[in-house]
């Protein structure tokens, strides 16, 4: 019973908090900020306290039967709890950071409404065991990110926000069509019923294509990746939240949930998807290498790293899947950290152009060190967390047997190292080509330092996440 | 209880407000408000009140044949809500008291016509009530007596006259095979001689008449002009219910009456899809706020027609659900258009900008309205569109389902453009002293927005109490 309450509070505390927080903003901004952080932390604590339960091999289900097969079901299994814990933790750090970053802009009530709503619907999405509710939460995250990207009211910002919204809605509608197709075959939107049905029948390829359209648009993978770098006009905590840590992971999460846990697409997809991911990883790594806009480089890097996660999930062997899950964690921490560092740099130097920066390590040492630590993790340098996840994805890919795709990803990994070092050099080392700005505010520095430390700790204490992931993978592939 | 009360009470209201000269005028607003509220209450509690097959009271004496079923209830509730919104907005328009009084009168007359359409059980009464509604709307469109209004009213008048001819012709043809004009007799007659060419022609002609009334492609030409040029409270009425009840609701009735055949369904599906696409793409290029909304109406009506064209009980239930949702979100957007027109003095979107700062409530309700119109969950419009698409898919109309779903991107596109031009961005020059429109406009806007949100969130209740009864009603 307590577990069910925990599960419900994971989803509904932030959803309720999203309504209350902006109202509280009319009373006091401090109270509102505290409330927003409390809602998200409560969700994190609830999700984290479910870990021992799911580790013991239990799954928790809360369900309400609704007409026409639109049952409301929340299920907490290892994969869902893992995702929920990671995203709520990163979200909590980002909100903490926002206290400093966002404090001198307008429309703060709307900001906190959307951030908390975003996390609530993210939680709903990961725990949903019904396609229609998964879709609903999916679209609520799209609404939230639309408003968050358009936080600044310049015409360019709004246009980019509209672009992101339209692209992801297009993909979502394609996915909805696939859900309707599955509904007609199975007669229900319940994942359990769908899993049972597709045990004996193969999944129609058209459904796989349509669902992939949804996933690729949400996770900003080639050829639908362009909205993500463009969305860099948003405030930095938003880009960290949406484009690095949480939003883009929705796509890969649904990939794992549907294509690994629920049904297996036909053999050919295990070649097509890694190939797509490889192209995405290479193209965007190349773009990151030549860009000069600080946030666009990191955004392209996200597109590139998402390719690795897809690779891990798509090769369909246990080590690949485990690697991909760890990758979600490590990339979330490190990329969140990078974006937040970029936020500090951008806010204090008043520019996003890296050719006009340099030498910033002397004035903002903590930011620089955090940036470096997060970069090491993304590059996959031991003992940072990113090394283990990248290594496992590669070993999964080698086990999958396609040597060309593995080679493509290897060169992608090399490019990652190149563009991140270039970025670090241009921004923090060498002679100053602009103004030497001061360090960010205390909450902001603490946030980036925590994420950087976590990236390192994630590698040193890799045993904890990896043992959890090992249980999760067993549960996912049904051993 | 007698269904005819829904027509008799408004008739009495009209008499009551016109007989005493001055008190009537002052009370007209409140009486009309009470009337629409009563209408809604009667509709909601219809199950206890009206769902008997026995005619009682005056109805038995005069042999009035009216009845309300679940389909009708939804239409009646929509009419109540939209009429009240329009009534509120009319208080804030630059009209003098006598004009306002005329408006209230015409509104009540229109409501009589629409109640009749909803409850009629024979095809000739249906026609008569359609004409009552149409006559009231001609005057309302030309209410300002300016050139645009007269042009819009004239276009509607001419096309409506054609529709009249079509419908009368069709009724005459049907009388060749049926013994009278009641729905029951026609159903009986069609069982025997449903495949005769004259009957098929009659059905086709009648539907064409209704396509004109509903502004469905390729008969949609009059609609943008009429919506654009009519005064704000009238465009709320027209877009929210009048064309929907006169056109779309009647199409539902007629297809149920004639039974769904593959050929009718094909026509409905084709025209519905074309309406969706033509409406959506035409809306993309509009700069006039109301004209854009008018094209959006054509597009949304297309969805309702698709639901009907699926030819299944679920499709019909989904269609009436979308009918309700469309009435809500489109009235909401037109109420907001009224607020913008009143405050900025223009309907040109390129002259607006950044208004969300000055009109935060209107800006927020507008977001709710557009997201519902585009079918984004968890708002109401999502559920009805989803059901329409599920119905289409189950009926094996895969390509129509796919077109309907992807047209959502275009819908979202033009509505986002509107939101960006009007509400977001920097405040345009000359709009510095714009403030929130008065209470009477903001209140309906907020109420309609709450209905949209609540319908979306409480969908299990809606399904249980409206959709499934309609579905079961049709399965028998």
pLDDT tier at A357 (50, 70, 90 boundaries)?
Answer: confident
Provide the residue ranges of all domains of chain B, joining segments of one domain with +.
282-476
* A285, two tokens: 């790594």
pLDDT tier at B295 (50, 70, 90 boundaries)?
Answer: very high
pLDDT score recorded for residue B285? 87
Task: State the average pLDDT over residues A452-478.
Answer: 87
Q: What is the pTM of this model?
A: 0.91
CA distance B22 to B62: 34
Nearest chain B CA: its distance from A139 CA (Å): 6
Nearest chain B CA: its distance from A183 CA (Å): 8
pLDDT tier at B162 (50, 70, 90 boundaries)?
Answer: very high
CA distance B227 to B149: 9
- Which residue is associated with the tokens 């648009």? A217
Is A394:A406 a contact under the CB 8 Å cutoff?
A: yes
pLDDT tier at B389 (50, 70, 90 boundaries)?
Answer: very high
Query: Over the stretch A162-192, which tens digit does the pLDDT of each residue have?
Result: 898 999 999 999 999 999 999 888 888 888 8
Phi and psi at B378, nearest 5°, equal: -95, 25
When the pLDDT of each residue in chain A is averaged and rounded to a whole number, the result is 87
| pLDDT exceeds 80 at position B473 | no
When the pLDDT of each residue in chain B is averaged and rounded to a whole number, the result is 85
pLDDT tier at B50 (50, 70, 90 boundaries)?
Answer: low
| pLDDT exceeds 90 at position A44 | yes
Neighbours of B353 (CB within 10 A): 21
Phi-psi sector, A283: left (phi>0), alpha (psi -120 to 50), beta: alpha
Q: What is the 3-state secondary structure (H, E, C) of B254-272?
A: HHHHHCCCHHHHHHHHHHH
Is B13:B32 a contact under the CB 8 Å cutoff?
A: yes
**Chain A residue with minimum CA distance to B424:** A153
| pLDDT exceeds 80 at position B315 | yes
CA distance A385 to A459: 4
Query: Over the stretch A430-461, which tens digit does the pLDDT of each residue have?
Result: 877 767 677 778 888 888 999 999 999 988 88
pLDDT score recorded for residue B149? 86
Element (H, E) at A13: helix A2-25
Within 8 A of B402 by CB-CB distance, chain A residues are 177
| pLDDT exceeds 90 at position B299 | yes
CA distance A218 to A232: 15
CA angle A56, A58, A60 (to 5 degrees): 140
Is A162:A231 a contact under the CB 8 Å cutoff?
A: no
Is B408:B374 a contact under the CB 8 Å cutoff?
A: yes
pLDDT score recorded for residue B365? 92
Q: Is A66 in CB contact (< 8 Å) with chain B?
A: yes
Q: Which residue has the higher pLDDT, A391 or B197?
A: A391
pLDDT score recorded for residue B62? 62
Residue A430: partners with Cβ closer than 8 Å, 6 or more residues away? A358, A359
Task: State the average pLDDT over residues B444-466.
Answer: 88
pLDDT score recorded for residue B54? 58
CB atoms A180 and B416 under 8 Å: no
As beta bridge partners, residue A75 has: A61
CA distance B413 to A169: 10
| pLDDT exceeds 80 at position B269 | yes
pLDDT score recorded for residue A45? 92
Q: Give the percent of chain A with pLDDT over 70.
A: 99
Q: Determine the residue among B310, B415, B460, B467 to mutate to test chain A binding: the one whose Cβ has the most chain A Cβ atoms within 10 Å.
A: B460
User: Which residue from B224, B444, B448 is spatially nearest to B347, judged by alpha carbons?
Assistant: B224
pLDDT tier at B20 (50, 70, 90 boundaries)?
Answer: confident
Tally A–B CB contacts below 8 A: 82
Range 387-426 of B in CB contact (< 8 A) with A: 389-390, 393-394, 401-402, 405-406, 408-409, 412-413, 416-417, 420, 424-426
Q: Count how many Cα atoms sit within 13 Å of the Cα of residue A174 in the half-sphere of its side chain.
A: 18
CB atoms A170 and B417 under 8 Å: no
Query: Over the stretch B57-113, which tens digit does the pLDDT of each residue have?
Result: 666 666 667 777 778 888 888 898 999 999 888 887 766 777 888 888 899 899 989
CA distance A131 to A360: 48
Residue A5: partners with Cβ closer than 8 Å, 6 or more residues away? none
| pLDDT exceeds 80 at position B177 | yes
CA distance A334 to B75: 55
pLDDT score recorded for residue B24? 67
**With 0-12 CB in 10 A as exposed, 13-18 as middle and 19+ as buried, what is A289?**
middle
Within 8 A of B401 by CB-CB distance, chain A residues are 177, 180
Task: State the average pLDDT over residues A340-351.
Answer: 87
**Chain A residue with minimum CA distance to B422:** A155
Q: Which of A226-235, B22-31, B267-276 has the lowest average pLDDT?
A: B22-31
**Chain A residue with minimum CA distance to B409:** A170
| pLDDT exceeds 80 at position B419 | yes
CA distance B203 to B200: 5
Query: Over the stretch A195-225, which tens digit does the pLDDT of each residue have?
Result: 888 888 888 888 899 999 999 998 888 888 8
Residue A420: partners with Cβ closer than 8 Å, 6 or more residues away? A301, A375, A378, A379
Q: Is A151 in CB contact (< 8 Å) with chain B?
A: no
CA distance A77 to A470: 13
pLDDT tier at B8 (50, 70, 90 boundaries)?
Answer: confident
CA distance A376 to A382: 8
pLDDT score recorded for residue A417? 92
Within 8 A of B468 by CB-CB distance, chain A residues are 67-68
CB atoms A153 and B406 under 8 Å: no
Q: Determine the residue among B425, B461, B466 to mutate to test chain A binding: the one whose Cβ has the most chain A Cβ atoms within 10 Å.
A: B425
pLDDT score recorded for residue B292? 92
Residue A242 DSSP code: I
Query: Over the stretch A243-302, which tens digit does the pLDDT of each residue have?
Result: 777 888 898 999 988 888 888 888 888 888 888 889 999 999 999 999 888 888 988 998
**Chain B residue with minimum CA distance to A167:** B409
Is B275:B220 a contact under the CB 8 Å cutoff?
A: yes
pLDDT score recorded for residue A171? 92
Q: Which of A244-248, B268-272, B358-362 has the lowest average pLDDT?
A: A244-248
């Amino acid at each position: 019973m307590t577990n069910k309450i925990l599960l419900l509070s994971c989803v509904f505390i932030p959803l309720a908090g999203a309504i209350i927080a902006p109202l509280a903003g009319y009373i006091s901004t401090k109270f509102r900020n505290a409330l927003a952080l409390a809602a998200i932390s409560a969700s994190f604590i609830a999700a984290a306290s479910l870990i021992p339960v799911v580790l013991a091999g239990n799954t928790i289900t809360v369900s309400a039967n609704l007409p026409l097969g639109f049952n409301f079901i929340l299920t907490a299994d290892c994969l869902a709890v893992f995702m929920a814990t990671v995203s709520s933790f990163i979200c909590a750090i980002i909100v903490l950071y926002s206290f400093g970053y966002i404090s001198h802009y307008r429309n703060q009530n709307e900001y906190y409404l959307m951030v908390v709503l975003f996390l609530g619907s993210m939680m709903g999405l990961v725990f949903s065991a019904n396609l229609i509710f998964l879709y609903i939460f999916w679209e609520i995250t799209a609404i939230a990110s639309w408003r968050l990207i358009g936080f600044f009211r310049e015409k360019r910002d709004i246009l980019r926000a509209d672009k992101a919204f339209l692209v992801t809605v297009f993909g979502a509608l394609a996915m909805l069509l696939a859900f309707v197709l599955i509904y007609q075959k199975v007669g229900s939107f319940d994942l359990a019923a769908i899993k049972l049905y597709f045990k004996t029948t193969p999944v129609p390829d058209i459904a796989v294509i349509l669902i992939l359209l949804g996933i690729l648009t949400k996770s900003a993978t080639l050829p639908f990746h362009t909205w993500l770098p463009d969305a860099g006009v948003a405030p930095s905590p938003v880009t960290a939240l949406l484009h690095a840590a949480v939003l883009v992971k929705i796509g890969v999460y649904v990939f794992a949930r549907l294509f690994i846990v629920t049904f297996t697409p036909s053999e050919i997809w295990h070649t097509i998807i890694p190939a797509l991911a490889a192209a995405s990883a290479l193209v965007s790594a190349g773009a990151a290498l030549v860009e000069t806009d600080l946030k666009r480089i990191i955004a392209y890097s996200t597109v590139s790293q998402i390719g690795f996660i897809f690779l891990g999930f798509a090769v369909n062997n246990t080590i690949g899947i485990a690697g991909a899950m760890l990758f979600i964690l490590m990339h979330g921490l490190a990329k969140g950290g990078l974006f937040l560092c970029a936020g500090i740099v951008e806010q204090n130097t008043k520019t996003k152009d890296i050719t006009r920066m340099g030498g910033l390590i002397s004035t903002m040492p903590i930011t620089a060190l955090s940036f470096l630590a997060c970069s090491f993790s993304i590059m996959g340098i031991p003992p940072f967390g990113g090394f283990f996840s990248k290594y496992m994805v590669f070993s999964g890919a080698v086990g999958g047997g396609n040597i060309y795709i593995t080679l493509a990803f290897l060169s992608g990994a090399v490019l990652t190292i190149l563009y991140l070092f270039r970025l670090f050099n241009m921004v923090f080392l060498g002679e100053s080509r602009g103004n030497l700005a001061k360090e960010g505010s205390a909450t902001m520095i603490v946030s980036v330092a925590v994420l950087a430390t976590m990236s390192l700790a994630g590698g040193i204490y890799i045993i904890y996440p990896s043992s959890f992931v090992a249980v999760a993978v067993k549960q996912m592939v049904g051993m | 209880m007698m269904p005819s009360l829904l027509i008799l009470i408004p008739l009495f209201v009209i008499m009551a407000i016109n007989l005493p000269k001055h008190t009537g005028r002052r009370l007209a607003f409140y009486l009309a408000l009470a009337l629409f509220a009563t209408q809604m209450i009667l509709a909601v509690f219809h199950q206890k009140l009206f769902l008997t097959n026995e005619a009682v009271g005056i109805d038995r004496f005069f042999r009035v044949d009216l009845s309300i079923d679940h389909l009708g209830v939804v239409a009646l509730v929509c009419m109540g809500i939209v009429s009240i919104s329009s009534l509120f907005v009319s208080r804030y328009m630059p009209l003098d008291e006598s004009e306002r009084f005329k408006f209230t009168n015409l509104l009540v007359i229109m409501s009589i016509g629409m109640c009749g359409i909803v409850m009629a059980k024979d095809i000739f009464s249906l026609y008569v009530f359609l004409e009552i509604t149409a006559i009231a709307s001609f005057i309302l469109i030309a209410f300002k007596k300016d050139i645009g209004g007269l042009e819009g009213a004239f276009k509607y008048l001419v096309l409506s006259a054609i529709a009249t001819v079509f419908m009368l012709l069709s009724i005459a043809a049907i009388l060749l095979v049926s013994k009278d004009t009641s729905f029951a007799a026609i159903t009986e007659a069609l069982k025997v001689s449903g495949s005769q060419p004259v009957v098929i022609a009659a059905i086709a002609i009648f539907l064409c008449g209704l396509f004109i009334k509903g502004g469905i492609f390729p008969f949609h030409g009059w609609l943008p002009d009429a919506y654009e040029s009519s005064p704000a409270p009238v465009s709320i009425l027209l877009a929210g219910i009048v064309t929907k009840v006169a056109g779309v609701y009647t199409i539902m009735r007629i297809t149920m009456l004639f039974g769904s055949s593959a050929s009718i369904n094909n026509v409905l599906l084709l025209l519905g899809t074309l309406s969706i696409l033509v409406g959506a793409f035409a809306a993309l290029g509009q700069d006039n706020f109301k004209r854009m909304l008018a094209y959006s109406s054509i597009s949304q009506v297309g969805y309702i027609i698709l639901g009907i064209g699926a030819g299944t009980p679920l499709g019909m239930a989904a269609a009436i659900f979308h009918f309700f949702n469309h009435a809500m979100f489109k009235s909401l957007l037109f109420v907001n258009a009224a607020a913008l027109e009143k405050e900025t003095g223009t309907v040109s979107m390129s002259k607006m900008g950044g208004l969300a700062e000055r009109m935060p409530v209107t800006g927020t309700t507008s977001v709710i309205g557009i997201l519902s119109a585009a079918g984004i969950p968890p708002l109401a419009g999502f559920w009805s569109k989803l059901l329409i698409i599920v119905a289409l898919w189950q009926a094996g109309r895969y390509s129509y389902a796919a077109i309907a779903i992807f047209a959502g991107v275009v819908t979202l596109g033009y509505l986002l453009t509107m939101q960006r031009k009007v509400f977001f961005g920097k405040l345009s020059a000359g709009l510095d002293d714009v403030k929130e429109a008065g209470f009477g406009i903001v209140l309906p806007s907020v109420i309609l927005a709450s209905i949209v949100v609540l319908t979306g969130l409480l969908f299990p209740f809606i399904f249980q109490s409206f959709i499934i009864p309609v579905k079961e009603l049709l399965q028998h």
